[in-house]
Structure 1
Amino acid sequence: MKNAFWRRFCRNKGAVIGLGVLVWVALVALLGPLFLDYGPWDMVDAPFLEPLSPDGRWLGTDTMGRDIWAGLVHGARVSLLIGFVSTVVSLLIGVSLGAIAGYFGGWVDAVLMRFTELFQSVPSFALAIVLVAIFEPSVASMVTAIAVVSWPPVARLVRGEFMALRQRDFVSAALLAGQSTPRVILTQILPNAVSPIVVMASLMVASAILLESSLSFLGLGDPNQMSWGYMVGTARTVMRQAWWMAVFPGVSIVLTVLALNLVGEGLNDGLNARADGKR
């Protein structure tokens, strides 16, 4: 099974490249700070040093003399942390509500779907701004805000999968064998619905990183944590004078989000057994 998954995944060259980019970003986030003698907020040199400067600041410095490379390294940690944690929280909420709505149906489904539509009726970015503004800007508040605006699509996807699977023979057999409802949901239906959830999760991480970058760009990020969005935001007033301040974190955001989308396509191919017949 695993060999078949990797065979289908590796046939998608874009997915392999995307996975390589993600591994590189993860290694930079985890190991990069160990090779730096200073933090992202430290003024280590003169302001506005250009990339590949003679004194070793190979990505240059910003308006305060802070090293751009140090900012990228620590920003990768923040972006990946918020992206993955908010996605996990969104999945916990969305999968739980979607599974209950799809399995029981009837008035339970109607109530939970109206509740879901309530969140979908408000633009997600606007709602995230309001939630972060209400609470003190921090990593925790950003994770909460992004999770709150991200779970409704998961709930609708899981609901559809459960509605399709609950009528299958293996579910009826499990109920006749005396298995409890929670056990049927967790051990019989959910494993058969996991493929589309995994694919959506990879795309949700990309969306969460974009949303975090947008909030930080607007000054709603954690003031104690360096992030790629904050770096782009501080550079918008000096674009002509110091282009590298916005270009390097901007490229980092684009490459990471693109890599996640490519990996999502590869996961879709790898988890879809019909892909063998299409190639």
Structure 2
Amino acid sequence: MSEFWTRFARNRGAVVGLAILLLVIVLAAAAPFLFPRSPWTMVQRPFLPPFANDAFPLGTDTMGRDVASAVAHGAHVSLLVGLVSTIASLLIGIPIGAVAGYYGGRVEDALMRFTEFFQSIPSFAFAVVLVAIFRPSLVSIVIAIALVSWPPVARLLRAEVMALRSREFVEAAILSGQRSPTVIWRQILPNTLSPIIVLATMMVAAAILIESALSFLGLGDPNIMSWGYVIGAGRTVIRQAWWVSFFPGFAILLTVLALNLIGEGLNDALNPRLARRTR
């Protein structure tokens, strides 16, 4: 573990990304205490500029709602959607990729054609259609993001499992009488964790962007404050009140950048030989 953190710390960008992500997590966790009132509550006159009132440092929006409160409470929603949808994507993609890579033949062909079908559909357009069908809600958004995000996981797992299934420890497990599901679960999948973890960080960032885009288009949960909703609410008055869209947009930028930097750091730490070759 100490070697892992040493390699991770060598990537300064990854350390900065981790610090930013921790700040966002702290902000999301502390939002109910820092801003106990609902972010939907009108607290001041509309279009109060940022830093004009100490009680509302980021100003107010078109309805007189606190932008700082909206950003803080929106952090919880964005991180939750990103994490849960990524976990759901992994639960779909990992079994499909593992089975396809291990058994090969017709099983692999069928599963990969199924995966390619989902990849042939534009992911964001597919997510829009799914949310519109299920009606906008936090659950439908998570389901939609999961359904459009799992194909890369399946393809990655297929390649990793194909590379591992002919290794000596896998053949030894088969000769010892272990059944195929046991071999996949106990012998192969633990050796694929490194690329999965790296990919998962990228997927969380992509999920946050998709959720923000859906909310921006008015397809977010109407009862939950999110960064995309705040940006969408301020787009019609961006010349008059630039701060309404700027601060949640900047929060999205920082969070996605932090996750991508962390992903690069994890790749260096978990795959040091590969990182050296690519430099």
Q: Is TM-score (shorter-chain normalized) higher than 0.5?
A: yes
Moved more, 26-35 or 256-265: 26-35
Q: Which amino acid in 1 is paired with 2:252?
A: I
Is 1:110 the counterpart of 2:109? The answer is: yes
Aligned residues: 278
Asked if structure 1 preserves the Cα contact closer than 8 Å seen for 2:78 and 2:211, the reply is: yes
Asked if structure 2 preserves the Cα contact closer than 8 Å seen for 1:8 and 1:275, the reply is: no
Structure 2 unaligned regions, length at least 5: none
Give the equivalent residue in structure 2 for 1:10.
9
Asked if structure 1 preserves the Cα contact closer than 8 Å seen for 2:53 and 2:59, the reply is: no
> What SS class does the counterpart of residue 58 from structure 2 fall into?
coil
After superposition, residues 1-279 of structure 1 pair within 5 angstroms as: 2-54=1-53, 56-274=55-273
Asked if structure 2 preserves the Cα contact closer than 8 Å seen for 1:75 and 1:227, the reply is: yes
Residue 277 of structure 1, CA deviation:
6.2
Q: Aligned residues: percent identity?
A: 63
> Hey, what's the Cα distance between the residues in 2 that align with 1:194 and 1:54?
49
> What SS class does the counterpart of residue 38 from structure 2 fall into?
coil
TM-score of the superposed pair, with normalisation by structure 1: 0.97
> Hey, what's the Cα distance between the residues in 2 that align with 1:56 and 1:36?
10
> Hey, what's the Cα distance between the residues in 1 that align with 2:262 and 2:22?
11
Structure 1 unaligned regions, length at least 5: none
> Hey, what's the Cα distance between the residues in 2 that align with 1:200 and 1:55?
41
> In angstroms, what is the RMSD of aligned CA positions?
1.2
Residue 273 of structure 1, CA deviation:
3.4
Asked if structure 1 preserves the Cα contact closer than 8 Å seen for 2:267 and 2:275, the reply is: no
> Hey, what's the Cα distance between the residues in 1 that align with 2:161 and 2:276?
26
Asked if structure 1 preserves the Cα contact closer than 8 Å seen for 2:42 and 2:65, the reply is: yes
Change (3 A) 1:276 1:141: closer
Q: Which amino acid in 2 is paired with 1:53?
A: A
Q: Which amino acid in 1 is paired with 2:202?
A: L
Asked if structure 2 preserves the Cα contact closer than 8 Å seen for 1:99 and 1:162, the reply is: yes
> What SS class does the counterpart of residue 202 from structure 1 fall into?
helix
Change (3 A) 1:37 1:193: closer
Runs of 4+ in 1 over 3 A off after TM superposition: 275-279
Q: Which amino acid in 2 is paired with 1:265?
A: E
Residue 275 of structure 1, CA deviation:
6.5
Asked if structure 1 preserves the Cα contact closer than 8 Å seen for 2:50 and 2:56, the reply is: yes
